[in-house]
Structure 1
Amino acid sequence: MHPLIDVPALARLLRSEPPPILLDVRWHLSGPPGIDSYRRGHLPGAVFVDLDRDVAGPPGRAGRHPLPAAADFEAAMRRAGVSSDRPVVVYDDADSTAAARVWWSLRYFGHERVRVLDGGYHAWTEAGRTVTTEEPAVKPGDFIAQAGRLPVLDAEGAAVLAKSGVLLDARAAERYRGETEPIDPVAGHIPGAVNAPTHGNVGVDGRFLPSQLLRERFAQLGATDAADVGVYCGSGVTAAHEILALTIAGVPAALYVGSWSNWVTDPTNPVATGESGAHGH
């Protein structure tokens, strides 16, 4: 199943019986909580999912958005109406960063039919589609979470991959170079990692670039389907966006969920600054 769906295709699906489960996962690192945006208007039938509460475990040594326990994720998805036998469509109101983390998490825990609305809420409203403030009555789902359906990395695995394969750092270039670090206590990157900021995956309209352009972008960085590829970011959210882009490009990749926020909790982990990006081939 292609990981993206466009507005006309989603509109058709929502008229079918049963329609897909629609998850609104608006989330802003700084700014108003996503639930406020949801209450002001959302796609008809959409259920709000809180990225911090429902899609991540408690922050700590494992990182700012570590993997949730399978039982917790299962309960959150069931509350949102998710069942294993019904397709799920996820959207946010930015460039699909938050939506991608939910897409990745559902796939990791075993849901086979999950897609992201390309362009999200803005693409829907710009196409003249209706939104509503009505919150749907949710029939609890029966989703069963089974961890491990997509590859993940820990700190040790990320360090090895940076030397033996291709480890992409999905953060902005200035954070990668260590010139600024607005969130984590240490600035810099994992030695050997190659910078591939997620904003390069989408156009100005917040929609993903065509698969051929994404393939070319990642190939220039050494990330092809012939290489071992992993991705990290600050806390494993924008890295999921990168994995979605890599999936569109036909390149399998592992997610270092703890990412930089986990890496820097161990003072023995080395830190690089400046431009690097030598491939470990």
Structure 2
Amino acid sequence: MSNFVTVAELSELLSTGAPVRVIDVRWRLDRPDGRPDYLAGHVPGAVFVPLDTELSTHGEPSEGRHPLPTTAELQASARRWGLRQGDSVVAYDDAKGAAAARAWWLLRQAGVDVRVLEGGIRAWRDAGLEVATDDVTPVEGDVVLDGIGADALTIDEAAAFPASGVLLDVRAPERYRGEVEPLDPQAGHIPGAVNLPTVLHFDSAGRILDHDTVRATFAQAGVTEGAAVAAYCGSGVTAAHTALVLDEIGIAAKVFPGSWSQWSNTPGRPVAVGDQP
């Protein structure tokens, strides 16, 4: 089964009353609070999920900007969304799936059947489908989540990863090269990491490119079937997006959730610059 659901498929699921919970995970670096956009128009019945507080937690800078929530914290949030045992989840955003992928990555580890809406809210609107402006507050759910974290790398594991696999830095090339760093105290990349921006795998509307094209792009970075691969980004959000795409073409990947925000805030960690690993 695909990790993605089309607008037509989601509309059909909702019309049949299938046990599916839709979550709106609108978050972007330039607009981290997506609630105003949610209230301006969302998929009917969708619950707003704040990425900063429910799909991550807060800690010291040396933990990164988006540390993982505990399983208990994620379960409490999922119950707030109204998620019941056996329900499926469809997550969407307005950032080509980058934020929704964080929900996918966490919930998939937790044993939930979860997919991402291809094209997000833009595709829903473009299809001429109804949007709602209410603030959905469902009856609390009873879902029981499996433990999360098995697909995450620690900072030490990320440091060692290039010796045995491919560590992908999925940020923009100029951040990888160390030419600019708008958010973190140091510019550059983890030594040994290969740059492959996650935006390369989608078209302008946020739809994944055909699988052969995606496989070819990853192969250029040394990622092929059977390879050990992990991804990091600025703070562990878009890295989950790359993990989503890799899983879609049949390649399992780990994510370093601390990502560059943790690495650059940890004294003594080496920093590489330039366009080579």
Distance 1:84 1:161 in 2: 36
Q: Secondary structure at the match of 1:152?
A: coil
Distance 1:48 1:87 in 2: 16
Q: Secondary structure at the match of 2:16?
A: coil
Distance 1:210 1:86 in 2: 29
Q: Which residue of 2 aligns with 1:169?
A: 169
Shift of 1:8: 0.6
Residues 1:97 and 2:89 are matched in the alignment: no
Distance 1:191 1:239 in 2: 17
Shift of 1:40: 0.7
Shift of 1:53: 0.8
Residue 243 of structure 2 aligns with an amino acid whose one-letter code is I
**Aligned Cα root-mean-square deviation (Å):** 1.4
Q: Secondary structure at the match of 1:274?
A: coil
Shift of 1:29: 1.4
Distance 2:210 2:85 in 1: 29
Q: Which residue of 2 aligns with 1:271?
A: 271
Please tell me whether the aligned partners of residues 107 and 149 of structure 1 are also in contact (alpha carbons under 8 angstroms): no
Please tell me whether the aligned partners of residues 81 and 137 of structure 2 are also in contact (alpha carbons under 8 angstroms): no
Greater CA deviation, 71-80 or 208-217?
Answer: 208-217
Residue 210 of structure 2 aligns with an amino acid whose one-letter code is P
Q: Secondary structure at the match of 2:63?
A: coil
Q: Which residue of 2 aligns with 1:256?
A: 256
Q: Deviations over 1:241-269 (max 9, x none)?
A: 11111111211100101111111222221
Tell me the TM-score normalized by structure 2.
0.96
Q: Which residue of 2 aligns with 1:223?
A: 223
After superposition, the Cα gap between the structure-2 partners of 1:191 and 1:137, relative to the gap in structure 1 and judged at 3 Å, is closer
After superposition, the Cα gap between the structure-2 partners of 1:55 and 1:32, relative to the gap in structure 1 and judged at 3 Å, is closer
Shift of 1:149: 6.6
Residue 248 of structure 2 aligns with an amino acid whose one-letter code is I
Residue 71 of structure 1 aligns with an amino acid whose one-letter code is A
Distance 2:59 2:208 in 1: 29
Dislocated runs of 4+, deviation >6 Å:
none
Distance 1:30 1:58 in 2: 19
Give aligned-pair identity as a percent.
47
Q: Deviations over 1:107-151 (max 9, x none)?
A: 12222x100000000000001111011233402111223224752
Distance 1:12 1:18 in 2: 9
Q: Secondary structure at the match of 2:56?
A: coil
Q: Deviations over 1:157-186 (max 9, x none)?
A: 111111221000010000000000000101
Distance 2:200 2:11 in 1: 28
Tell me the TM-score normalized by structure 1.
0.94
Summarize the alignment of residues 223-242 of structure 1 with structure 2, pairs less than 5 Å apart.
223-242=223-242
Distance 1:149 1:184 in 2: 24
Summarize the alignment of residues 1-281 of structure 1 with structure 2, pairs less than 5 Å apart.
1-31=1-31, 33-60=33-60, 61-111=62-112, 113-148=113-148, 150-277=150-277
Distance 1:39 1:163 in 2: 47
Please tell me whether the aligned partners of residues 71 and 148 of structure 2 are also in contact (alpha carbons under 8 angstroms): no
Distance 1:137 1:164 in 2: 46
Distance 1:148 1:90 in 2: 18
Q: Deviations over 1:32-58 (max 9, x none)?
A: 720000111100110000000110011
